Chain A
C-alpha cells in the first residue's frame, strides 16, 4: 500500500488535516505540580515519594524523599509540615548525596595495623557484636560498667531514647554529649532565666527583629522553619531586621541594617539597651506587666516599684557611650535601636553562637533574655517564646535496673565551669588523658567526631591514637571520618534516608508537630541502624529492651501516643510523614496558667518560702517533709524535677518551670544560683580576658557556617561541596594593608595552640580587628569529595568522581588553632574568642 513517497505525502496531509482527537495522554512530567510529586527525567514516570525527615542538621525538617530504580534521587520539603511549610534548604536537598556517597562504609571493619594506620579487615556483624558485647559484659561482671563510655553528637528523638535505655542496661552513666561545642551555653543561660531551653522566635507575628550573632538565614537550630518565616515577614510585612555581627553574613546582608561589632562585646550593647529602656521608662506597658513574673532582686516578692528601681540602678552604669567604647557601635545607634525595639511591640530579640560562644556568653544570653523581659516580649505572639515540641510516648524498656555508675569526666576539670548543665564535651579527651577521674576502657562514639569537631585538633588526635589512654574505641558511622579513622571497630550505620525514627523538633508556630523518618530505600551493604544494634547488644547482655528494632520502637510509639494513634498511628505516619492537630491553638503565655489547688495541696508537696516554689519532696527522693522543709528547694539535688508551681501573690501559677538547676518558677533576671557560685546575680559586664591583653598586631579569630554546608558532616555531599569547599580567611582591608596582605595571598594564622596556613579574602565585609574562617572545610578524611582521600571500602560507582575540579583545594580547618576553652559559667566552647597573629606566609 505504501511506498515512501506516498507515505510521506499522507503524513503531511494528515498533519495538515488536523483530525487527531483531543489528546488523552500527556507527559506526566509536564503537568505543573505543586504538591510533593516528582517525575523521572529519564523516563518521565512519576517517582516513588517517601514522606520522611531530614537529618542533615539538627532542625530535622520533614521531607519527601524521591526514589527511582531503588536509588534516592531527590529530596524536597514536606508541604504538609507546619514547621517548614514545604521549604527545604540547600543542605537538605544535598542530602540526596549521602546514601550515594561512593566512600561510605558498608561493612563492619576491624583495625588490623596500628591505630590510625588505615589498615582494616571486614568482619561479620556477629563477630563485631560478639566482641563488643563480650568486652562490655566483662566490665559489667567486674562491677565497672562505668568504664564503658558513650559519647554522642547529634543523637536525638527515638534513637536517643533507645540508646539511653541500652546504656541503662549496661549500667553506665559515663555519657558524654557534644552540646558544649554547639549551643549548650545558650541553653544554660536560658535554664537560669526561664527554665528549659530552646527559644522559639515568632516571626509570623513580630514587628521587629533584633539579632545578636545569629546567622538565621544560613544555619541554626531551627533553621528553615524560622528563616523562611523571617524572609516572609520582611518581604510581606516590612518587618525590620537589625543584625549585630562581626561579619557581613548573608543574614546581615539581607537585614535592614548590619551593625558591625567587636567580637565578645554584644553583652555591652545589650546592657546599654537595657540602660536605655529602663532609663527612658520604655518598660512601661507590657514590660512592666511582665515584671510581675520576674525576679529582679534577691527578694522573692519585691513590689513593682522595687523591681523597677533595682533594674534602673543595675543598668545605670551601662550607658550607650560606655558600650560604644567597648563594642565600636556608636552610642546613638544603640540608643536608636533600643528605642525601636522597645516600642515596636511585639518585637523579637534573637541570638546564637556569634554572641554566645564567648567567655561572657552566658551573661550575654541572660542580658538578651532580660531585654526581652523588660520590654514584654517573652512568650507572647511575635516575641521570644518558649519552644513547643510534640510529646511522644514510647516503650520505656526494662525496669528496676541498678543505678548507673559513672566516671566524672563529662563535665571537664573541676571548677572549669560553674554550671556545665550540658557538660563540657570539648574537655572529655583531655580528662581521659589526665586520668585523675578514671579512664574508660571502651569508648563508643556515635554521630560525633571528636577528632574534627573540637578545638585543638592535634591534641584530640594524639589522645585518640593512644591505646594506653583509650584501649578500645568503637565508632558508629556511615562514613569514614577523622574519628572513625582512629577507631578499633567501625560499625557501619545506614544514612538517614535509610533509617527509622520518630522526630520531635520544636515548632515555630507554637503548635506541636509529630513526624517520622522512614527508609526511602533499603540500607546499603551490611549497614545496620544503631537503634537495631543496641537491641541486639542488650539481648546479648541478657537484658532485652523489649523491642527488636527501631522500626518496632517507632511503631509502638505511634500506637502509644494518643494524638498519633487517634488518626491511625503508624500507618498514618508512614503514609503522611507528619501530623499536627488541626484544631490546636498556638501556645503562648503558658507561665500565666494557674495550678489547681489539689495539685499543690497534696501531702507530698511543700512550699519553699525562699523561692516561692511548690515542690514534691517525694518525687525529689527526700526522706521526709520535715527534711524537705529544712534543706529547702534550692539545695536538694535535682529538686527542679519535682517542681509543681510558683506562688505569685495569692495565685499559684505554672510560671517558668526549671530544668537542670533548682531555679524558682519566676523569670530570673536576678539569679541566686549564680550568686551562690560567686558570679554576679544580675547580667553584668564581663570582659574576655584574652581580648583585654591583646596587642595591636593581634586579631580575634571567629568562625561561622555557610548556607550550603552543615558543620562537619556534609562535605561528602558532592552537590554541596562543589558549591563550597574552600574557606579563605576573611580579613578587613585595613588589617590586611597593615600586614601587606593582598586578596588571595597565603597567610599564616597562629594562636597559642598552633598555626595554619590559608588564603586571605580581603573584604570590608568583616569588621576591623577580626579574622573569620568558616567551619566545614579542611577535612583529611571523609571521602574523596570532602578531602580527596578514599574511604577503606570505597567504590568507584560514581562518574562524578572524575569531575572533582576542586581536587587538592579542600580548605583549611580552623580548629587546629582554637584551644578548647570554656565559658566559666556554662562550659560552652569559646569558638569566637581566639586571639591570633596573622602574617603573610
Chain B
C-alpha cells in the first residue's frame, strides 16, 4: 500500500468518524429538545423558537409545519393555551396521560414510583449518573429518560472525538440497552395515548415527532449493532 493510499484511507476513516460524530451530536440535541418540551409547557422563548427561525424551518422540513403545530390556537393567548394543554395532558388528575414508565409500561406495575422507577434509577447509577438531589420528578419521567439518552449520546460523541473507542462503544451500548429495556418499551404506547388525547393539539405533533425520532434512534442502533 502506498503512502497516498494510506492517507486516503486515513482521511476516509476520519471523515467517517466525523460523519458519525455529527449524527450523534444531532441525536443528542434532539433528545435534549424533546426532553425540554416534555418537561414543562414551553414558555414564550421556547414558543418563539418553535415558531420562527432555524428550528421552525427544520421542523417544517419534516412535515411539522406551523399549521400542523399551532393551527387552531389563538395567537394572542398562545402561551396560556399551550400551558393549559400541557397541564391537561400531563398534570391534571383524571385526564392526564402519565408520562412515567412505571405507569405506562404494558404489563408493568401501573403505579407511580413503581419497581420500574427503581430500575431506571439503578440504570442511571450503574452508568455513572446521579440524579440531582433537589429533583422533584420521578426518575422514569419521559423527559428525564430522554435527557439521559442525550447525555449518553454526548458522551459517545466526546469519546469518539478524544479517541477513546472503548468509552464510545460503552456509551453506544448503554443507549441501546436503555432503549431496549426502558424507553423503547413504553414510549410508543405513551405517545400514542398522547396523540389520541382529546385535548392534544401541539403535543399531538410533538408526540408524532418523538415517536418517529425514537423509532429512528432504535433502528439506527440496531443497524450499528448488526
Which A residues contact B (CB, under 8 angstroms)?
1-2, 4, 6-21, 23-29, 31, 39-40, 43-46
Are B55 and A17 in contact, CB atoms less than 8 angstroms apart? yes
Q: How large is the interface on B (under 10, 10 to 19, 20 to 34, 35 or more residues)?
A: 35 or more
Query: Whole-angstrom distance between the alpha carbons of A31 and B133 in the complex?
Result: 12
Are B25 and A11 in contact, CB atoms less than 8 angstroms apart? yes
Are A24 and B58 in contact, CB atoms less than 8 angstroms apart? no
Which chain A positions have C-beta within 8 A of B198?
none
How far is the CB of A745 from the nearest CB of chain B, in Å? 45
Shortest Cβ distance from A25 into B: residue? B129
0/1 interface trace, chain B 178-220, chain A, CB 8 Å (1 if under) = 0000000000000000000000000000001100110010000
Which chain B positions have C-beta within 8 A of A23?
132, 147, 151
Are B55 and A24 in contact, CB atoms less than 8 angstroms apart? no
Are B32 and A39 in contact, CB atoms less than 8 angstroms apart? no
Query: Whole-angstrom distance between the alpha carbons of A40 and B167 in the complex?
Result: 13
Query: Whole-angstrom distance between the alpha carbons of A252 and B66 in the complex?
Result: 78
How far is the CB of B191 from the nearest CB of chain A, in Å? 13
Query: Whole-angstrom distance between the alpha carbons of A584 and B16 in the complex?
Result: 67
Shortest Cβ distance from A43 into B: residue? B128
Are A20 and B33 in contact, CB atoms less than 8 angstroms apart? yes
Are A26 and B54 in contact, CB atoms less than 8 angstroms apart? no
Which chain A positions have C-beta within 8 A of B32?
14-15, 19-20
Q: Top 7 closest A-B pairs, CB basis?
A: A44-B128, A11-B26, A20-B32, A15-B29, A14-B33, A28-B130, A1-B212
Tell me if B36 is interfacial: C-beta within 8 Å of chain A.
yes
Contacts A19-B32, A20-B33, A21-B35 hold; do A13 and B132 have CB atoms under 8 A apart?
A: no
Shortest Cβ distance from B174 into A: residue? A43
Which chain B positions have C-beta within 8 A of A39?
128
Among the 9-residue stretches B39-47, B92-100, B105-113, the one with 4 or more Cβ atoms under 8 Å from chain A is: B39-47
Are A25 and B124 in contact, CB atoms less than 8 angstroms apart? yes
Are B58 and A13 in contact, CB atoms less than 8 angstroms apart? yes
Query: Whole-angstrom distance between the alpha carbons of A20 and B147 in the complex?
Result: 8
Contacts A13-B57, A21-B147 hold; do A28 and B125 have CB atoms under 8 A apart?
A: yes
Query: Whole-angstrom distance between the alpha carbons of A27 and B129 in the complex?
Result: 4
Query: Whole-angstrom distance between the alpha carbons of A453 and B213 in the complex?
Result: 69
Checking A4, A11, A21 against B30 with a beta-carbon cut-off of 8 angstroms, the contacting residue is A11
Checking A14, A15, A19 against B42 with a beta-carbon cut-off of 8 angstroms, the contacting residue is A19
Are A1 and B63 in contact, CB atoms less than 8 angstroms apart? yes
Contacts A2-B212, A10-B59, A19-B49 hold; do A26 and B30 have CB atoms under 8 A apart?
A: no
Main secondary structure of the interface of A (DSSP, over half): mixed
Which chain B positions have C-beta within 8 A of A18?
49
21 A-B pairs with C-beta separation under 8 A: A1-B63, A1-B212, A8-B26, A10-B26, A11-B28, A13-B55, A14-B33, A15-B26, A17-B33, A17-B50, A19-B33, A19-B42, A19-B49, A21-B143, A24-B135, A26-B129, A27-B151, A28-B128, A43-B126, A43-B128, A45-B125
Are B129 and A11 in contact, CB atoms less than 8 angstroms apart? no
Are A19 and B46 in contact, CB atoms less than 8 angstroms apart? yes
Which chain B positions have C-beta within 8 A of A14?
26, 29-30, 32-33, 55, 58
Query: Whole-angstrom distance between the alpha carbons of A17 and B55 in the complex?
Result: 7
Are A16 and B55 in contact, CB atoms less than 8 angstroms apart? yes
Query: Whole-angstrom distance between the alpha carbons of A2 and B213 in the complex?
Result: 8
How far is the CB of B130 from the nearest CB of chain A, in Å? 4
Shortest Cβ distance from B38 into A: residue? A21
Are A40 and B27 in contact, CB atoms less than 8 angstroms apart? no
Which chain B positions have C-beta within 8 A of A45?
125-128
Which chain A positions have C-beta within 8 A of B127?
43-45
Tell me if B86 is interfacial: C-beta within 8 Å of chain A.
no
Query: Whole-angstrom distance between the alpha carbons of A23 and B208 in the complex?
Result: 24
Which chain A positions have C-beta within 8 A of B28?
11, 15
Shortest Cβ distance from B129 into A: residue? A25
Query: Whole-angstrom distance between the alpha carbons of A7 and B61 in the complex?
Result: 10
Which chain A positions have C-beta within 8 A of B212?
1-2
Tell me if B118 is interfacial: C-beta within 8 Å of chain A.
no
Query: Whole-angstrom distance between the alpha carbons of A46 and B121 in the complex?
Result: 13
How far is the CB of A478 from the nearest CB of chain B, in Å? 32
Which chain A positions have C-beta within 8 A of B1?
none
Which chain A positions have C-beta within 8 A of B22?
8
Are A25 and B29 in contact, CB atoms less than 8 angstroms apart? no
Are B137 and A24 in contact, CB atoms less than 8 angstroms apart? yes
Shortest Cβ distance from A29 into B: residue? B128
Which chain B positions have C-beta within 8 A of A12?
26, 29, 54, 58
Query: Whole-angstrom distance between the alpha carbons of A4 and B24 in the complex?
Result: 12
Tell me if B172 is interfacial: C-beta within 8 Å of chain A.
no
How far is the CB of B168 from the nearest CB of chain A, in Å? 14
Tell me if B131 is interfacial: C-beta within 8 Å of chain A.
yes
How far is the CB of A264 from the nearest CB of chain B, in Å? 58
Which chain B positions have C-beta within 8 A of A17?
33, 46, 49-50, 53-55
Which chain A positions have C-beta within 8 A of B70?
none
Which chain A positions have C-beta within 8 A of B91?
none
Contacts A1-B212, A2-B212, A17-B54 hold; do A25 and B36 have CB atoms under 8 A apart?
A: no
Which chain A positions have C-beta within 8 A of B137?
24
Are B128 and A19 in contact, CB atoms less than 8 angstroms apart? no
How far is the CB of A13 from the nearest CB of chain B, in Å? 4
0/1 interface trace, chain B 9-29, chain A, CB 8 Å (1 if under) = 000000000000011011111
Shortest Cβ distance from A7 into B: residue? B26
Checking A4, A9, A19, A44 against B37 with a beta-carbon cut-off of 8 angstroms, the contacting residue is A19
Which chain A positions have C-beta within 8 A of B151?
23, 25, 27
How far is the CB of A20 from the nearest CB of chain B, in Å? 3
Which chain A positions have C-beta within 8 A of B57?
9, 13
Query: Whole-angstrom distance between the alpha carbons of A11 and B29 in the complex?
Result: 5
Tell me if B144 is interfacial: C-beta within 8 Å of chain A.
yes
0/1 interface trace, chain B 145-185, chain A, CB 8 Å (1 if under) = 00110110000000000000000001000000000000000
